[in-house]
């Protein structure tokens, strides 16, 4: 029994580590958004504040999928649903 619990805890830790790989996607997406925003500001410096706020809004929405991965990791580590 003791072995099983520890085994499940270890596997949960591995699963949590795998779950936060979800952070790659939002990272790439936010980078693309920031790059295009920089290009837009370079083309039209007058619209800097509009471009920045739109970029931040889009990035915050794009971040959601990465946060879902983080949530799964948190659940596995602290709530321990499998034990």
The C-alpha atoms of residue 24 and residue 65 are separated, in whole angstroms, by: 10
- The CB-of-77 to another protein minimum distance in angstroms stands at 6
Q: Which residues bind another protein (CB under 8 A)?
A: 9, 12-13, 56-57, 60-61, 63-64, 67-68, 70-71, 74, 77-78, 80
Nearer to another protein among residue 10 and residue 43 (C-beta): 10
Helices marked H in 1-83: 2-19, 24-43, 48-62, 64-74
20 membership: H or E segment, kind and range: none
- The CB-of-8 to another protein minimum distance in angstroms stands at 10
């Amino acid at each position: 029994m003791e072995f099983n619990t520890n085994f499940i805890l270890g596997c949960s830790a591995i699963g949590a580590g795998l779950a936060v790989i979800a952070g790659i996607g939002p990272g790439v997406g936010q980078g693309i958004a920031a790059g295009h925003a920089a290009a837009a500001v370079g083309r039209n410096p007058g619209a800097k504040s509009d471009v920045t706020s739109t970029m931040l809004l889009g990035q915050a929405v794009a971040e959601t999928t990465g946060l879902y991965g983080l949530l799964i990791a948190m659940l596995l580590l602290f709530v321990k649903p499998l034990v």
